[in-house]
């Protein structure tokens, strides 16, 4: 089976860790990726969820298993989309 083209993840907090404001903290944030590319990052709203689900259709994987009113569960955690290769051993 092929991996999904798009992946949507929503969490309690989002820490962008990138310009223009590295100190920004976003409550109820989301990340939309297409393969290895981040397509959207920001504050989540139900309108954003509907737009993404309509645009991506069956090619979208939504992470999380909690029941959500709008179909996009919010995970109890922090998204740090620019924190790549947090720990690894590339031998």
Summarised one tens digit per residue, pLDDT across range 26-81 is: 999 999 999 988 899 999 999 999 999 999 999 999 998 777 777 899 999 999 88
Question: Residue 69: what are its φ and ψ, rounded to 5°?
Answer: -55, -40
Query: What pTM did the predictor assign?
Result: 0.81
How far is the C-alpha of 17 from the C-alpha of 11, rounded, in Å?
A: 16
* Alpha helix positions (H), 10-89: 46-56
Among candidate residues 41, 8, 46, 40, the one with its CA nearest the CA of residue 26: 41
């Amino acid at each position: 089976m092929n991996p999904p083209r798009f992946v949507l993840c929503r969490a309690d907090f989002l820490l962008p860790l990138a310009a223009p404001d590295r100190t920004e903290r976003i409550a109820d944030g989301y990340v939309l990726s297409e393969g290895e590319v981040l397509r959207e990052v920001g504050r989540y709203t139900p309108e954003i969820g509907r737009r993404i689900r309509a645009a991506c259709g069956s090619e979208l994987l939504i992470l999380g298993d909690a029941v959500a009113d709008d179909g996009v569960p919010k995970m109890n955690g922090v998204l740090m989309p620019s924190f790549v290769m947090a720990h690894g051993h590339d031998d």
